[in-house]
Amino acid sequence: MNDSEISYSIQTLPEVDRPRERLLRHGAEALSAVELIAIVLGSGTKGAPVLQLSQALITRFGSLVLLSQATVEELCQVKGIGSAKAIQLRAAFSIGMRLNRHDVGPKFKVESPLHVYQLVRDELENEKRELFMIVMLDAKACLISHYTVAIGTLTESAVHPREVFYPAIRHKAVSLILVHNHPSGDLTPSGRDIVLTQQLVETGATIGIPVNDHIIVGDNGYHSMRQHGEVFNKK
């Protein structure tokens, strides 16, 4: 099915839920990444409303950053995305990248768990599977990038140290922060979370890329393992 076949416009949504109207009322900053992508796409397809299609794109590629790097061919592999929609997305992301190259403002500095939460919230809050991400930082604790290293089931994701530290080495990260979501909404670290964090902290110390924190994201907030003295700050 291509983009010209049966489509479902944003206009079929209740007015209060339409991303375009929400942008007009509250500004682009109030919209999630999913809603902004929905505006770019304009419509969904039969069986895939536009907001659902937008969420599927972010889930398929693991993060907004990786989605922005996808080629037209890769985008077209997502059900409901034809060449026209893929080209629209590539054009929108390319504009953003060009603006970013000319941005002479300060880099995003990660100074607290709240900053990490604000960075990943749109991607993790409503995700039904457990995603494990790393936030890579430079020597001044400024963001290099964030990256999804594992996608799991409703209850857990399998993470290996090489999947965590390979992108950190490739991007020349000086330190990193671990992030994953609990689809259940319970922010309490599991026993598996504690063991994995300890393992990754030890690996980071060995290779010279320290792990600064592990943030757990739920549908109503976040939990910093460092702030709660779990694994971190222990003698």
Residues 123 and 97 in one domain: no
CB 143, CB 137: distance < 8 Å: yes
Of the chain, the percentage scoring pLDDT greater than 90 comes to 40
84 and 126 share one domain: no
Among 78, 101, 124, the domain boundary falls at 101
For residue range 2-45, list pLDDT tens digits in order. Answer: 443 334 445 555 555 677 787 787 777 777 888 889 888 888 87
Predicted local confidence at residue 172, as pLDDT: 93
Flag whether the pTM goes above 0.85.
no
Supply the CATH number for residue 16's domain: 1.10.150.20
Element (H, E) at 107: none
The rounded Cα 28 to chain-centroid distance in angstroms is: 18
Q: Is residue 51 part of a domain?
A: yes
Structural domain harbouring 81? 7-101
Q: Is 115 exposed, middle or buried (0-12, 13-18, 19+ CB in 10 A)?
A: middle
User: Do 134 and 96 share a structural domain?
Assistant: no
- Looking at the structure, tell me whether residues 65 and 168 fall in a common domain: no
Residues 15 and 45 grouped into a single domain: yes
Distance of alpha carbon 207 from alpha carbon 165, whole angstroms = 9
Q: Look at the block and give the residue holding tokens 């049966």.
A: 6
Q: Tell me if 61 is assigned to some domain.
A: yes
- Which of 75, 101, 127 marks a domain boundary? 101
**207: in domain:** yes
Mean pLDDT (whole number) for 105-113: 82
Average pLDDT over residues 164-178: 94
Residue 2 pLDDT: 41
On whether both 219 and 135 belong to a single domain, the answer is yes
Span 118-130, mean pLDDT? 86
Instruction: Please check whether residue 108 lies inside any domain of the structure.
Output: no
Query: Which conformational region is residue 166 in: left (phi greater than 0), alpha (psi within -120 to 50 degrees), or beta?
Result: alpha
- Say how many domains are in the chain: 2
Name the domain boundary from 101, 127, 151. Answer: 101
Most confident of 15-29, 126-140, 148-162, 200-214: 200-214
Q: Is the C-alpha dihedral spanning 203, 219, 39, 10 positive or negative?
A: positive
| Tens-digit pLDDT profile for residues 150-170 | 887 655 667 889 989 999 998
The answer to whether 177 and 211 are in contact (CB under 8 A) is yes
**Which residue's structure tokens are 């909404």?**
185
